[in-house]
Amino acid sequence: MTRFSANLGFLWTDRALPDAIRAAHAAGFDAVECHWPYDVAADDVAAALAETGLPMLGLNTRRGDVAAGENGLAALPGRVDEARAAIDEALAYADAIGAGAVHVMAGKAEGPEARAVFAQNLHYACARAAKGGRIILIEPLNPFDAPGYFLNSTAQAADLITEIAAPNLKLMFDCYHVGRTEGDVIARLGALWPIIGHIQFAAVPDRGAPDHGDLDYAVVFAELARMGWAQPLGAEYRPTGATEASLGWMSRLR
């Protein structure tokens, strides 16, 4: 049976994170994940997780100065101290709530210097995360949603993962982002299988619930099951109204 994780960066955003965790449990999700939980006391999040029995799969490092358009720090030359502080903060929060992974956000940058800085910061993140038995994720973002983001293809991410060669550095494979830019999602899943650490999904091309669009998720999820994927799949889509009203896909696709 396919299992699902509610991404609380997009689902139940009308309520505080602990209450969103409870809502995900009531809706039948098997796990949760989030984006930037730092304004919420970790103890409150940990209490909601304990109450519901849901695991928190992962969270993101801070984006930086959001008002100025920043979307991550780890590939920004000249910002190493801030990037590593964000990594430390994310890992400490993950430790406090038992989250298994931290997604290190690259940010808007380009060129060889940005790549070198990103690689150095990923080495740092992986070494720190290994002490707590956690994994580090990197995620390519499509240029329609995240113009200028340094990491924008799975090939680029795979090259970094191969070069860094840390056993706890993995790819966050978002079917939506890959579907927008790289075509055959199932073929890319097969090609990248050994380095994938987490899988997310949403309708292509509108990032809505996975019950419409160019990708047939019944086919994708069946192929994932055939390939042996057993972890919860991350529902990271934007509901057009109340989250509860968007969940009809769960029973059909489970």
Which among 239, 203, 199, 205 has a CA at the least distance from the CA of 223?
A: 199
- Contacts of 34 by beta carbon, 8 Å cutoff, 6+ apart: 7, 8, 9, 17, 56, 58, 59, 60
Question: Choosing from 82, 113, 223, 236, which is the catalytic residue?
Answer: 236
Count CA atoms within 13 Å of residue 5 on its CB side: 24
Give the C-alpha separation, 77 to 92, whole Å: 24
Question: Choosing from 70, 110, 139, 244, which is the catalytic residue?
Answer: 139
Give the 3-state secondary structure of residue 158: helix
User: Do strands 58-60 and 196-201 pair parallel, antiparallel, or not at all (unpaired)?
Assistant: unpaired
Q: Active-site residue 33, yes or no?
A: no
Q: Active-site residue 139, yes or no?
A: yes
Which amino acids are annotated catalytic?
A: 139, 236
